[in-house]
Every structure is written in structure tokens, then in C-alpha cells.
Amino acid sequence: MLGGLRQWIDPERTPAVGRTPDYRFSLANERTFLAWIRTGLALIAGGLGCAQFLPPLPVAHLREIIAVALLVLGAVVALRAVHHWASTERAMRLGEELPASKFPAFLAVVVALGAVVLIVAVVL
């Protein structure tokens, strides 16, 4: 496990694979990574905001459940961002197809379901 984690975060290990791609593709991959990190940070900030500023809701502990769910989702998004960045960089260096990801669709469904739950909680 630690070896896999090191491959994600150690910039010395990624260049050892394949050929250096056109820098524009690497920079685009990095911008995508940073966009995912911003999304993760926004989810974490939303979770902290819910925990600190949301008044108690009619359903017991719903505020805490929402806060924890947003915090966990933010952490998952950040970890997925690193994994996707490393996988994409590796694929570009090896001349392989870029890895497909269902994660954006998964995240959209989770956020939409969360919104529906909040709508129901607010209306009730």
C-alpha cells in the first residue's frame, strides 16, 4: 500500500515511466487535478459550515450527518483527484488510452440525492 501511495505523491517516480508527454497535456492534467481539489475543499468547507452554522434540524442529528457526509465526500474527492492525476499522467507517458472514470457521474448523483434529502428535511 505504501509503495502505491508513494507512486502517487513522489514526483521522482512518475518520470521514470515511458516518455515525457507534451507539456501542454501534463499542464491540462494538472489543471483538472486542481479543479477536483477545489471541489473537495468546497465540500469540506460546506461540511464545516453545516457543523458550525446550521441550526438544529427537525430530524435528530441530521445536521451532524450532513456535515460528516460532506467531510467524507470531500476527502474521497481529494483522494480520487490524486489517483486520477497519477493514472492519467502514467497513461500519457506510456502512450496508452486515458483512463475512463465514472466518478464525476457518481459525484453528481450523490450531490443530487443529498439535495433531495435536504429539500425534504427543510420542507418537513
What are the phi and psi torsion angles at 22 (to 5°)? -55, 130
pLDDT digits (tens, 9 = 90+) for 76-118: 999 999 999 989 998 999 999 999 999 999 999 999 998 898 7
Of the candidates 13, 16, 11, 19, the one whose C-alpha atom is nearest the C-alpha of residue 92 is 19
pLDDT digits (tens, 9 = 90+) for 52-62: 998 887 778 88
pTM above 0.85, yes or no: no
Of the candidates 6, 8, 5, the one whose C-alpha atom is nearest the C-alpha of residue 87 is 8
Domain ranges of the chain: 21-123
